[in-house]
Amino acid sequence: MARRYIALDPPSRLAIWARRMAFFSLAAVAVSVIVVRSGLLDIGPAVVSFGVALAPAVVALGLAFAALVVIWIDGLGGMGRAFAAIAIAAALLAYPTYLAYRAYKLPWIYDITTDPIDPPRYDLLARLRPRDANPVAYAGLYAHEQQRAAYPDIEPLDEDATPEAAYSAALAVMTKRKWTIIDRRPPQAATRREGHIEAVAHTPIMGFADDIVVRVRGGPDGSRIDVRSSSRYGSFDFGSNAARVISLINDIDDVIGDQKPEPVVLPNAKKPQQQQPKRDQPATSKR
């Protein structure tokens, strides 16, 4: 008995090319991220390469929606290919779209500090920064006004702990985050009154370098901790430096709070009753 084959609907060529473009964009984005993180290109060409790698994802998204229309009208196959292209393209474009939204909402600043009058200074990092990086000098009060409007919660951290304890807490938090510690100078009562820590952090996806400096100063009631975080490149940081400063301040505060012993509360015990002093009794004569 001869077998009968049922002819399936031919797949839409738009769906085929949509999935091809989506996979091509996925591969190009992966290569561009590797190139950026390895430092093979300067920051400018590296960012351009990442943007070019995302362009096929936009094309794939348009082809996939067009393919769905053709499939619906002509009854062609390839719906799975179209939805696969949409899923890959949407995953690639979701984070850049979120960054674009933040760029629209947030001020264009790249240097965040808790002390705009006397910001912590980069010493060793100022000499290690490349020449084409952003300047290490703070932009001034105009930048702080923008920072204050966007991030009103960024303030110095005042603790009743000693400068040595505050410095140790800050260093412990920065080490736990696996930042690259560039310079550390603990406070010393005899020779140096303030503590100083410089470190480098990298963004999670692209690996861009951001510089951090922590200053610890003693005061009459304890110590004051100031933090500064700034991007090496670009005039906009997408809010990453502000988020880093806030989380660092909160973590240092938690560590210092854990170091303080909690007061021991004893259960309410009944106080012993004091015996009333005996009155002098009149002497009795013996007979």
CATH code, domain carrying 179: 3.30.310.80
- For residues 207 and 241, state if they share a domain: yes
Mean pLDDT of 257-275: 56
Mean pLDDT of 111-128: 94
- For residues 123 and 98, state if they share a domain: no
Sign of CA dihedral 281, 283, 286, 287: negative
Minimum mean pLDDT range among 19-28, 163-172, 175-184, 215-224 = 215-224
pLDDT bin (cut points 50, 70, 90) of residue 24 is very high
Mean pLDDT of 178-183: 95
In a domain, 82, yes or no: yes
Three-state DSSP class for residue 86: helix
Please, are residues 223 and 166 in contact by the beta-carbon 8 Å criterion? yes
User: Of 28, 33, 13, nearest to 207 (Cα)?
Assistant: 33
In a domain, 271, yes or no: no
Maximum average pLDDT range among 2-6, 37-41, 247-251? 247-251
What pLDDT was estimated at residue 156? 95
pLDDT bin (cut points 50, 70, 90) of residue 36 is confident
User: Of 166, 168, 200, nearest to 183 (Cα)?
Assistant: 200
Mean pLDDT of 31-54: 81
- For residues 66 and 172, state if they share a domain: no
Q: How far is CA 156 from CA 79, 152, 227, 264, 279, in A?
A: 56, 12, 7, 30, 65
Q: Which residues pair with 223 in a beta bridge?
A: 159, 218
In a domain, 281, yes or no: no
- For residues 236 and 117, state if they share a domain: yes
What pLDDT was estimated at residue 267? 53
* Res. 122: pLDDT tops 50: yes
Position 145, amino acid: E
* Res. 54: pLDDT tops 80: yes
In a domain, 125, yes or no: yes
- For residues 121 and 245, state if they share a domain: yes
Minimum mean pLDDT range among 43-52, 117-126, 151-160, 224-233 = 43-52
- For residues 51 and 79, state if they share a domain: yes
- For residues 136 and 241, state if they share a domain: yes
- For residues 57 and 142, state if they share a domain: no
pLDDT tens sequence across 129-155 = 888 889 999 988 888 899 999 999 999
What pLDDT was estimated at residue 7? 42
CA dist., res. 174 & res. 197, Å (int): 9
User: Of 273, 242, 215, nearest to 102 (Cα)?
Assistant: 242
pLDDT tens sequence across 97-107 = 988 888 888 99
Please, are residues 128 and 88 in contact by the beta-carbon 8 Å criterion? no
What pLDDT was estimated at residue 5? 40
Interior/surface letters 121-148, b for 16+ CB within 10 angstroms, e for the rest = ebeebeeebeeebbebebbeeebbeebe
Range of the domain at 45: 13-105
- For residues 249 and 115, state if they share a domain: yes
Maximum average pLDDT range among 72-76, 99-103, 121-125, 220-224? 121-125
- DSSP element (H, E) containing 250: helix 240-259
* Res. 279: pLDDT tops 50: no
Position 202, amino acid: H
In a domain, 34, yes or no: yes
CA dist., res. 53 & res. 45, Å (int): 12
Structure-model confidence comparison of residues 7 and 125, the more confident one: 125
What pLDDT was estimated at residue 268? 57
What pLDDT was estimated at residue 261? 53
Longest dimension (CA), the chain: 146
What pLDDT was estimated at residue 262? 52
In a domain, 4, yes or no: no
User: Of 111, 103, 84, 109, nearest to 25 (Cα)?
Assistant: 84
- For residues 148 and 236, state if they share a domain: yes
CA dist., res. 29 & res. 9, Å (int): 33
- For residues 226 and 101, state if they share a domain: no
What are the tokens at 262?
């909690």
Work out whether strand 194-202 and strand 180-185 pair parallel, antiparallel, or are unpaired.
antiparallel
Structure-model confidence comparison of residues 262 and 226, the more confident one: 226
- For residues 74 and 162, state if they share a domain: no
Three-state DSSP class for residue 111: strand
What pLDDT was estimated at residue 44? 75
- Number of structural domains, the chain? 2
**φ, ψ dihedrals at 31, nearest 5°:** -65, -40
**φ, ψ dihedrals at 5, nearest 5°:** -105, 135
Structure-model confidence comparison of residues 1 and 12, the more confident one: 12
What pLDDT was estimated at residue 191? 59
